[in-house]
Structure 1
Amino acid sequence: MSQKTRICNCNNTMPLDGAAIGSALGDGALPVASQLCRREVNQYLETLEGAERIIVGCTQEEPLFRELAEMKPAVAPLRFVNLRETGGWSEEARHAMPKMAALLAAARLPDPEPVPEVEYGSEGRVLLVGPARRVLAWARKLERQLQVSVLLTDGDEAALAGHAWPTFSGSAPRVKGWLGAFQASWQQTNPIDLELCTRCNACVKACPEGAISLAYQVDLAACTSHRDCVAACGAVAAIDFERIDRDRSGEFDLVLDLHDEPLLRMHQPPQGYFAPGADDAAAALAALQISEMVGTFSKPRFFQYKESICAHSRSRQPGCNACIDICSAEAISSAGDHIKVTPQLCAGCGACTTVCPSGALTYAWPRASDFGEKLRTLLATYVRAGGVRPALLVHSEEEGGGLVRQLGQLAAAGAARGVPARVLPVPVHHVASVGMDLWLAAVAYGAADVAVLATGGEAPQYLDALTAQMEIAQAIIDGLGYHTVRLHLLRTRDAEELDRELQRFVLPGRPAAMPAAAFHVAAAKRETLDFAITHLAQHAPTPQDCIALPPGAPFGAVAIDTDKCTLCMACVGACPESALTDNPQMPQLRFTEANCVQCGLCVNTCPEQALALQPRLAIGAAAKQARVINEAQPYHCIKCQKPFGTLQMVENMVAKLAGHGAFAGNIERLRMCPDCRVIDMLQPEKEVTIFEVKR
């Protein structure tokens, strides 16, 4: 698709070299506007003619530009690029032309293919659960907009509930589900059922102990079991001291949890669940959001799952639980020998795909191949425009993007240095979705630094995982001798702190002497890692055959104790990646190191405990070839001489079972092949004649 690009120096507040930027884009000199959104708006309106994509180097006035396009009406696709806060307003603005060209080039890439969506349907059935004094106040405010139900977990002010909405009381409330499909359950522990109670006060008057107040709940400590209240309630039957069925449940579209401590404790609760606690401002915001969640909604299906290479489990033996352990939405669970991902709960953080060693889980929004093309375009354009030692700053679109914009504003006012010229901001949905395969691919494309910006809102386990993954990737980079290439995890909560952190990127240092890779990021994670590592190894300052890696690395070998191994091949059946294979022609165990993801299934499956993991990275063609790690002399059937099993396995079996009653008198059958064993079992028993000796 052809492109039209418009750039503006924002009322002469930042330098723009239209010739340099246009040359890097292959367009020739670009005209530079000064007030594209005001006095020179006609330049923008002229670009709306036709169907060519329009790239505008301004996000400040994006709403205005979109409104003008709608008035036209225009059919040209629009994209907006922040050139101002990302570099135009910084101390190094005059050196930021390569970065600006790179950002504009990335915006020119075609739209990624759409991904499947997950749909939700909500009719506005909301459950308010918690203390009565909070629940009832918000129920009155929401009853005109939504179908309100309340669950009171104390009896205070229950008399004020009336029957305007279904009213329940109980303890031990539990909630599960998602927007449009919540299931709530609780225990009806008090004799008075508020949903049946008419608030006639007959029980209050009849109780001789005064154990029933206008909360319409029985104080069981004061009650002496006269049961006068039951008689007074009569046919209403709201009071039942002998209630057997105490379990109550209901289905709702939305949940407003007003407890001090939320019922759902996961870091990322499901959509449609709000837990503002005692914070009135947070409760008001939650109520506003809830009132807008009626109708049909959708979100991207953020992940793809390939069960065949999942290393979670085999034959009930545990393997990899990385995705289950890291998911902050509790959207991933074990389903036997594979995992189950509930797409309605998935929040799209992508952390599961980052820690998945095999690539069974991959991120789909965007797909790795689309994101990889963006990185390749950014870095290639930056270098083509004359930039040196580019650094990538991966940040979330919302929180991280907000800090970058704030930093630019501070720099414009002279209160900060701003984003350095060689730092290219890369917004993503969530920083946990970008992992080792993309970091190493970026280094292979020419990145001298890759930084991931954490702003404090991430789940703690995400930061632990990113730290561990960076340690592994940095070990590979350092092991190959790229000591000037660094990976960084920046933890900042405000723009001033980000400014200080980014100063480590100001001095460009010595350029790396490595040609940029030409490969494309693949859909398969392990394939991308292979491409990147192969390229880095080919140009390594200090070539290596093998690099030691920290525990938990997704690369490595399997050490075998040949004295223990019986070549039973249980490990071969357990390996999901075909790293361990047998030889159909002879008793051999073979290992292909490039396929091993260090899941540990072989170790956990081995009945002889003969295997151990060795995290490391083997480089070169040998790692992709199967090598024999154990072999044995075949054992020959004592009947037909056909080979079956191994000498060690058969002798071990005979030694272990010789004293077992089931094999007494038939131990030699263990030395037979399966066919001969069956034949021997079907042979009639030999007759034995017993002679009587007469004296």
Structure 2
Amino acid sequence: MGSRIGEAMLTQFLAQSETTNAKARKFAIEQTVELNNLIPPTVSYESRGNLVIIGPTSIIVDVAEQFSELNSITLVSTESDTQDKKTDKTVYHAKEVTIKGFLGAFDVECVVNGERVNLAKTTIGKTAFDLVLDMKLDSVMKEQVPVPGYYPVGRGYPTLAQVLDELPGLVGTFDKPKYFRLNPELCAHSSRGVKGCERCVDACPAGALTSEGSDQTGHHIQINPYLCQGVGTCATACPTEAISYALPEAEKTQNFATRLLTNYKKEGGETPIIAFCSDRHENFNVMALKTMPDHVIPVVLDELLSVGIDTWFSALVNGAAQVLFIASRRMPETIQRVLTQEVEIAQALLTQLGLDPQRIQVVYMEALNEMTLIDTPLSVMDAPLKGNKRERLMGALDHLAADSKANQIEITEIQSLPSHAPYGTISCETKDCTLCMGCVAVCPTRALHSDPDSPTLKFIEQDCVQCGLCVSACPEKVLSMKVQMNWNQETRQETQIVHKEDAACCISCGAPFAPASMIEMLRSKLQGNPHFNDEASIKRLYMCEDCRVRDIFTDLSANPEKQLKV
């Protein structure tokens, strides 16, 4: 699964034109080999064909006739029994229906005859149902992308005809890929009981991502592989690459598009445009391409958002004049929102570079006449992009910035971005900063870091993802974030000193161990404290931790009676 060039209808359409660009496009498609994961990790579902149908009595009774070959059918009416039509089937009249689970493991609870029951145990003697057909207009499960085995026909999609074709075959054992990798060490969601970034949770339309834990035990992101539908929005929204699309890896899709452009130009094609589209809508893809010139090259993905902003800009600096997304307004709202937000960031960056923002553009099937095509490619990079997701993006942006400057386009060094952009800087009210390094302890990318040899807080702007962990963790509340783009590559990548103080050096070993101002503050606050009423206790404030412990035990050894006071 992953990036690929169409199926039968699309392939047939692309072979019809005989223009130079069309031939180059066909050549590129045939010559560019995909590099997908050969044996992806999977999860398994087991279904025995126990179906529950929920909805108005007359509808569910009629629909049940279409699934007679299944193991069992349980009918749950959401109407009162006074509205029943005459039938020889058992119909359970239920209120307050709740459904949790997935294919082969649906827990359905409801109130029947005034008692809340587990419906599968009550009706078929099983712990769960395998399949759910929901005919209610307002479906019980609200996820925008339904979990496997759940069919909310009542809300209009999928259609009953599609369900009649698909549902009867869902008996047996089925494997589904694990679409994502999660690296908790890179995650900016939480650290040391402090919560920060929640972009992935907000971006999931399937309810597969949740924040688990508490302030006491710590929070962490959890992905339920049985609920995950591989939509890709979480990986696109993740600023640290803690979540990455694994089928295929985003960088492989990125390299695939680059090779596609290279093969297209090798065969004499000009001004290529990359059009990302979903394999779920082959008819729509063909319909859209019929309205476009022959230099538009489709790249078909399992999911439109399985590639992110780094891939889009990679295409632009590797010869594409434009990057399009063939989308539909029928897509779940969350997918449309994430796509719109990411494109908004991309277009803001293009505008700041003095380039037409429509070089990255969403083309909706419902509004093809609003499409803007651009036929002037940009400067191509000499070397391939390397590094992680952010490094590849910044490499592409720095190349475009240099090209804009070479073309006498003036670029303002610091420019604001949409508030949801994960790029920016951190400011510090240094007069109140104690250099406790609580911010350093929670920073997931080491954008904020300390100096082992002095009390110094350092910052690298390019690495900051604006997660907010440092702001929340700061006990003095002296840190603030600012979303922006710094087009000065040197200052964006260099280590900046946010705050620095003279070090207090240990009076015993001479090693620096804390900010001098912090030691003086502690002395001031502890003055008069009964535990610090002798010269030895005050002296230890000016020692490093190792020397302080050594001095205490030396004193106890010399004066054994003091052990009674410990």
Does 2:400 correspond to 1:519? Answer: no
Alignment of 1:495-514 (within 5 A): 497-498=367-368, 500-502=369-371, 504-505=372-373, 508=375, 510-512=376-378, 514=379
Does 2:119 correspond to 1:177? Answer: no
Provide the aligned C-alpha RMSD in A. 3.8
- Structure 1 counterpart of 2:30: 104
The 1:282/1:569 distance shift into structure 2, 3 A limit, reads same
1:395 pairs with 270, 277, 280, which one?
Answer: 277
Unaligned runs of 5+ in 2: 214-218
Please state which structure has a larger fraction of its residues in helix: 2
Does 2:386 correspond to 1:462? Answer: no
- Structure 1 counterpart of 2:302: 429
Code of the aligned partner of 2:459: F
Alignment of 1:419-498 (within 5 A): 419-483=292-356, 486-493=359-366, 497-498=367-368
Aligned 8 A contact 1:184 1:249 in 2: no
Aligned 8 A contact 2:245 2:306 in 1: yes
Code of the aligned partner of 1:548: Q
Q: Distance in 2 between the 1:105 and 1:265 partners?
A: 43
2:266 pairs with 384, 396, 399, which one?
Answer: 384
Aligned 8 A contact 2:503 2:513 in 1: yes
- Structure 2 counterpart of 1:320: 197
Aligned 8 A contact 2:109 2:116 in 1: no
Aligned 8 A contact 1:112 1:370 in 2: no
Does 2:426 correspond to 1:558? Answer: yes
- Structure 2 counterpart of 1:590: 458
Deviations 1:566-611 (A, max 9, x none): 1000011101111111122221111122322221111111111111
- Structure 1 counterpart of 2:75: 150
- Structure 1 counterpart of 2:146: 269
What's the TM-score, normalizing by structure 2?
0.83
1:611 pairs with 470, 479, 492, which one?
Answer: 479
Does 2:66 correspond to 1:117? Answer: no
The 1:249/1:154 distance shift into structure 2, 3 A limit, reads farther
Aligned 8 A contact 1:118 1:343 in 2: yes
- Structure 1 counterpart of 2:517: 648
Moved more, 596-605 or 320-329: 596-605
Deviation of the 1:384 alpha carbon = 2.7
Deviations 1:185-220 (A, max 9, x none): 12345379999xxxxxxxxxxxxxxxxxxxxxxxxx
Deviation of the 1:151 alpha carbon = 3.2
Deviations 1:436-471 (A, max 9, x none): 110111111011211112211222232232222223
- Structure 1 counterpart of 2:245: 363
1:177 is paired with a residue whose SS is: strand
Code of the aligned partner of 1:264: M
- Structure 1 counterpart of 2:257: 375
Deviations 1:60-91 (A, max 9, x none): 5xxxxxxxxxxxxxxxxxxxx6253x4845xx
- Structure 2 counterpart of 1:535: 399
Deviation of the 1:143 alpha carbon = 4.0
Code of the aligned partner of 2:455: P
Q: Distance in 1 between the 2:269 and 2:141 partners?
A: 49
The 1:664/1:492 distance shift into structure 2, 3 A limit, reads same
Q: Distance in 2 between the 1:113 and 1:526 partners?
A: 27
Q: How many residues align?
A: 537
Deviation of the 1:332 alpha carbon = 0.4
Q: Distance in 1 between the 2:157 and 2:352 partners?
A: 54
Code of the aligned partner of 1:127: V
Deviation of the 1:367 alpha carbon = 1.8
Aligned 8 A contact 1:368 1:521 in 2: no
Aligned 8 A contact 2:271 2:295 in 1: yes
Structure scoring higher RCO (CA < 8 A, sep ≥ 6) equals 2
Q: Distance in 2 between the 1:612 and 1:474 partners?
A: 26
Q: Distance in 2 between the 1:484 and 1:136 partners?
A: 54
Deviation of the 1:345 alpha carbon = 1.0
Does 2:297 correspond to 1:297? Answer: no
Deviations 1:278-299 (A, max 9, x none): 8799445434432221111222
The 1:652/1:144 distance shift into structure 2, 3 A limit, reads same
Deviation of the 1:613 alpha carbon = 1.6
Deviations 1:292-340 (A, max 9, x none): 2111122222111111111111112111100000100010011344311
Deviation of the 1:355 alpha carbon = 0.9
1:82 is paired with a residue whose SS is: helix
Deviation of the 1:511 alpha carbon = 4.6
Aligned 8 A contact 2:110 2:117 in 1: no
Q: Distance in 1 between the 2:392 and 2:181 partners?
A: 16
Aligned 8 A contact 2:45 2:104 in 1: yes
- Structure 1 counterpart of 2:493: 624
Code of the aligned partner of 1:603: V
Aligned 8 A contact 1:127 1:255 in 2: yes
- Structure 1 counterpart of 2:216: none
Deviation of the 1:56 alpha carbon = 12
Q: Distance in 1 between the 2:455 and 2:171 partners?
A: 64
Q: Distance in 2 between the 1:192 and 1:567 partners?
A: 56
Code of the aligned partner of 2:519: V
Deviation of the 1:154 alpha carbon = 3.7
Aligned 8 A contact 1:268 1:328 in 2: yes
Deviations 1:212-239 (A, max 9, x none): xxxxxxxxxxxxxxxxxxxxxxxxxx9x
Code of the aligned partner of 2:476: E
1:570 pairs with 434, 438, 461, which one?
Answer: 438
Aligned 8 A contact 1:638 1:671 in 2: no
1:331 pairs with 188, 208, 216, which one?
Answer: 208
- Structure 1 counterpart of 2:470: 602
1:351 pairs with 233, 248, 259, which one?
Answer: 233
Q: Distance in 2 between the 1:464 and 1:280 partners?
A: 19
The 1:431/1:194 distance shift into structure 2, 3 A limit, reads closer
Q: Distance in 1 between the 2:259 and 2:117 partners?
A: 66
Which protein has the larger Cα radius of gyration, Structure 1 or Structure 2? Answer: 1
Q: Distance in 1 between the 2:411 and 2:208 partners?
A: 40
Deviations 1:596-650 (A, max 9, x none): 2221111111111111123334443554343322111223568887654223333
Instruction: Determine what percentage of the aligned residue pairs are the same residue.
Output: 29
Aligned 8 A contact 2:348 2:357 in 1: no
The 1:645/1:439 distance shift into structure 2, 3 A limit, reads same
Code of the aligned partner of 2:396: A
Q: Distance in 1 between the 2:464 and 2:117 partners?
A: 60
Q: Distance in 2 between the 1:364 and 1:644 partners?
A: 44
The 1:83/1:104 distance shift into structure 2, 3 A limit, reads farther
Aligned 8 A contact 2:190 2:196 in 1: yes
- Structure 2 counterpart of 1:59: 8
Q: Distance in 1 between the 2:358 and 2:161 partners?
A: 48
Q: Distance in 2 between the 1:270 and 1:521 partners?
A: 36
Q: Distance in 1 between the 2:117 and 2:548 partners?
A: 74
Unaligned runs of 5+ in 1: 1-54, 61-80, 196-237, 239-247, 412-417, 688-695
Q: Distance in 2 between the 1:448 and 1:599 partners?
A: 33
Deviation of the 1:552 alpha carbon = 2.6
Deviation of the 1:382 alpha carbon = 2.5
Code of the aligned partner of 1:149: T
Q: Distance in 2 between the 1:134 and 1:382 partners?
A: 54
The 1:424/1:150 distance shift into structure 2, 3 A limit, reads same
